[in-house]
Structure 1
Amino acid sequence: MTETLAWNTSMMVSAIILIVTFLGIFTEGVHGFHRTKFAMLGAGIMIFAGQWFGFYSPELAVEAVDWNVVFLLGAMMTIVSIMIPTGGFQALAYRIADFSRGRLFLLMVLLGTAVTVISLLLDNVTTVVIFGPLIVLICQALKVSPVPYLLAAALLSDTGGVATLVGDPPNLMIGSAAHIDFNAFLMHMGGIVFAAWLTVLYALKFLFRKELSVLPSISDFADKGRIKDPKTWRISLIVLALMVVMFILHHEMGWRAWMVAATGLTVLIFFANDVDLDESFESLEMTLLIFFISLFILVGGVEHSHFLEYLGSFIKPFVEKDLLMASIVLMWVAAILSALIDNIPFTAAMVPIILSMEAQGITVAPLWWSLAIGVGMGGNGTHLGSTANVFIVTLSERLAKDTGNPELAITPGLWIKKGTPAMIMTLLMSTLILWMFFDFFAAPIHPH
């Protein structure tokens, strides 16, 4: 459908429901209602209104949910909940601390590397939930401020997550919608993420030069890193390694990514037979999964009313005229919005717009990559830019309160001084790479 769609009542109704719901989601700190409550309410109203005005139905709502994303997230969460109690991650962190021998920037690089590598497979929030408290313990033993290391953990988990299909929820949504497999995602994003990773570390070395130049008290961590359940930890690592191989081959196998995660989880619970299933499934973040399901239903309604197609018709001439500039603008807009608001709803709204342009025969490959870079890196811009950031800030505030030392709290002002410059530098680096290798990013994702 190349001509501009006529504005109609269905579009107006769905647009109002979407805008009001998103306002509720983005202002949860003001009214105190959890964003999932607003997402559920918006999804429910969208189904009722859609039935009334004839553009949506409960059947279409179920079809609108991207179950690949929901099942993949759920399976990965459960695998992590089995791995955390083994003590393996703690042992890894203490070995890193022992190896650094009081060289503070080396400690930051090694902890940052561990956080980034784990973020490639597990989501960012999980990574900082594991490493945040360990960083505090290591820094207390060394008698140095944990602030630079906590900030590095948040920034590098957000950055690392951008590299793979399973590293960050928006990537799952983009990959699932555009049928991008694990290999293609890693091939396109790996180089940019590596450059951004180096940029973040270099920026933090400069921004925290005073804190990183102090002499720590040398502490022996060798005896602290004991794994409580070596058998389950070893089996978990083997399963994760097999899953990486299967993620790489999932396209050839004709599997969706969720099948790989579900297979890995099934193998893990059979071989690590001491695992208490009730406990493992208890730590499933149902609130986040319901938030996703509700968002998919909400955006599905807007899509069926053709409102997103209507919006896309205004963006289309700009994309057709200058694809490189459109890609760069999308990356920066996505980054700025993701720094201010949650990147998941923004991604959910952008995906159908790009899909509708693709259906009209427009080259959209670079737009997918720009969206992934923008929403991933943009989370580093503010203390509220990602859930990982919020966790790290909360942890530092609790630490400041417990120790009576306000300097240990990561305040919004401190984030703007240290975190925001790091985000801007990574975006400048990403823009440069996108511009230099644009032909590579603009090549069709599925060459015929």
Structure 2
Amino acid sequence: MTETLSWNTPMLVSAIIMILTFVGIFTEGVHGFHRTKFAMAGAGIMILLGQYFGFYSPRQAVESIDWNVVFLLGAMMTIVGIMIPTGGFQAIAYRIADISKGKQFMLLALMGTAVTVLSLLLDNVTTVVIFGPLIVLICQALRVSPIPYLLGAALLSDTGGVATLVGDPPNLMIGSAAHIDFNTFFIKMGPLVLVAWLAILAALKVLFREEIAVPAQTPDFTPQEHIKDKRTWYAALGVLAMMVVLFIFHHALNWNAWFVAALGLTLLVFIARNVDLDASFEDVELSLLMFFVSLFVVIGGVENSHFLEYVAQFIQPFVETDLLLASIVLMWSSAILSAMIDNIPFTAAMVPIILGMETQGINVAPLWWSLVIGVGMGGNGTHLGSTANVFIVTLSERLAKDANDPALALTPGLWFKKGTPAMILTLITSSLILWLFFDFFAMPIHPH
């Protein structure tokens, strides 16, 4: 056992900056400043005061940034930016509507499957940005309420994203910090996510039984199935397939996940010669990447002040006493917090605490998986639980305003009635799986 850390001024300073930064990030709806602005301000103040109090420097700040996460997200966003104008995603959506033949639950299941499959490779925000507007168009053509489909897209993309290393930004952060490769991540999370996904689909069928009982009209979608740029679309699909193979072998090749994405992007821009790079790079959400960079700098300062180690020493005895209970408590508490606030800052704060416990010789493997499940599934709890949810809610509000029909808006109250039970169901399911197969989840990630 190492010596107990004592409270000091650098810890106090870094903790205050982190708390104020997080309060600013979580209350962006109140003060009107974008969360990235607060993250940038927090990063700047952390470096200045860190240097003044002798616990942080600009060089340490740059070293604390997890570039693997930043580059991977940037490359994947650019690939999607190249794929969207081809019309391929629209063709998939209209084909699904055609196959469902007016059966609403069939449409919900097929659309949910498409959204989930996409969420395995792309982050859930990108997935709903692609499918959200398409769902609205299809539902208008079928003369049915888009609410079950929009809510289903948000819930199933959040859940599907938990399954892979690249499916959700918190996964990238956890995987990068804990050195979890693509295969290990999918083997541990894939089966659990499949069960949770089926539970959500069943919940949606019960929660929206009245809405989806009405048979939909079956208009002819054939004219809209045309892919505008087949060469680019099929090239992109081929590159994505190659990337999946490389993600599977990236650990054996000694490559980082970002390098696989960058390689895929480079290959795609050469195969699809007519791609306008300026237009594709416009689809990269620079504000989100800047948010990550700033957040890593803030957490790096807190880490260097040893505040997180100080916090970890109070949690450690509980973890050492009952690892299973600690894992389930972490899952539920991170899910509840992620439902109320953004899961990215919460993940950023938890990662160094778990890493600190690992240095004390504790087997933290089940804690990593609990954190992945909690922050991923917890996003389903409220309309603010994930960026994907916020986008879907905004889309439904715009739709309600344009149609002058308040019933088309996904209100916080409606989300609480339909989305929160789905989150609780997935957490109960995940807790049972974690309990039943605890030895599987407790296997060390890097056996010696």
Match of 2:52 in 1: 52
Provide the C-alpha distance between the structure 2 equivalents of 1:276 and 1:302, rounded to a whole number of angstroms.
41
Q: Which residue of 2 aligns with 1:2?
A: 2
Could you report, residue by residue, the CA deviation over 1:268-309 in whole angstroms, capped at 9, with x for unpaired residues? 001101000111112211100000000000000000000000
Gaps of 5+ in 2: none
Q: Distance in 1 between matches of 2:20 and 2:189?
A: 34
CA distance in 2, matches of 1:282, 1:398: 23
Matched, 1:280 2:280: yes
Which residue is 1:405 aligned to?
A: 405
Q: CA deviation at 1:32?
A: 0.6
Alignment of 1:220-369 (within 5 A): 220-369=220-369
> C-alpha offsets along residues 25-54 of structure 1, whole Å, 9 cap, x if unaligned?
100111111100000000000001110111
2:171 matched to which residue of 1?
Answer: 171
The one-letter code matched in structure 1 to 2:170 is P
CA-to-partner distance for each residue in 1:117-146, whole Å, 9 max, x for gaps?
000001111111111111111111111100
1:3 positional shift: 2.5
**In structure 2, distance between residues paired with 1:196 and 1:226:** 35
Distance 1:162 1:283 in 2: 23
Structure 1 equivalent of residue 393 of structure 2: 393
Asked if the contact 2:98/2:218 (under 8 Å) is kept, the reply is no
> Aligned partners of 1:269 and 1:32: how far apart in 2?
38
Matches within 5 A, 1:108-119: 108-119=108-119
Which whole-Å deviations, capped at 9, do the CAs of 1:322-341 have from their partners, x for residues lacking one? Answer: 00000000000100000000
- Are 1:205 and 2:218 an aligned pair? no
SS at match of 1:251: coil
> Matches of 1:166 and 1:402 in 2, distance apart?
35
Measure, in 1, the Cα distance between the counterparts of 2:210 and 2:4: 57
Q: Which residue of structure 2 aligns with residue 78 of structure 1?
A: 78
Amino acid at match of 1:70: V
Are residues 1:135 and 2:135 paired?
yes
- In 2, the alpha carbon distance for the partners of 1:6 and 1:73 equals 38
Query: Any idea what the Cα deviations from partners look like across 1:355-404, whole Å, max 9, x if unmatched?
Result: 00001101100000000000000000000100110111011111111111
Cα distance between partner residues in 2 of 1:6 and 1:126: 44
Report if the CA contact (8 A) 2:115-2:127 is conserved.
yes
Aligned to 1:97: 97
Aligned AA (1:173)? M
> Displacement, 1:352?
0.2
- How many angstroms apart in 1 are the aligned matches of 2:403 and 2:311? 52
C-alpha deviation, 1:2, in angstroms:
2.1
Q: Distance in 2 between matches of 1:240 and 1:139?
A: 29
**Structure 2: how far apart are the matches of 1:282 and 1:146?**
29
Give the deviation of 1:250 after TM superposition. Answer: 0.1
Residue equivalent to 1:438: 438
**Runs of 4 or more off by more than 4 Å in structure 1?**
none
Equivalent residues of 2:69, 2:258 under 8 A apart: yes
| Amino acid aligned to 1:165 | L
- Tell me the SS of whatever aligns to 2:222: coil
CA shift at 1:223, angstroms? Answer: 2.6
Q: CA deviation at 1:320?
A: 0.1
Instruction: Indicate yes or no: 2:164 matched with 1:182.
Output: no
Number of aligned residues: 448
Q: Secondary structure at the match of 2:300?
A: helix
Q: Distance in 2 between matches of 1:115 and 1:222?
A: 21
Q: What is the alpha-carbon distance in structure 1 between the residues aligned to residue 382 and residue 77 of structure 2?
A: 25
Q: Could you tell me how far 1:79 is from its partner in structure 2?
A: 0.4
Give yes or no for the alignment of 1:428 onto 2:428. yes
Post-superposition shift, 1:216?
Answer: 1.6
Deviations 1:247-279 (A, max 9, x none): 000000000000000000000001101000111
What's the offset of the Cα at 1:217?
1.5
Q: In the aligned structure 2, how far is the partner of 1:21 from the partner of 1:401?
A: 34
Task: Give 3-state SS (helix, strand or coil) of 1:217's partner.
Answer: coil
Give me the identity figure in percent: 76
Deviates more, 1:88-97 or 1:217-226: 217-226
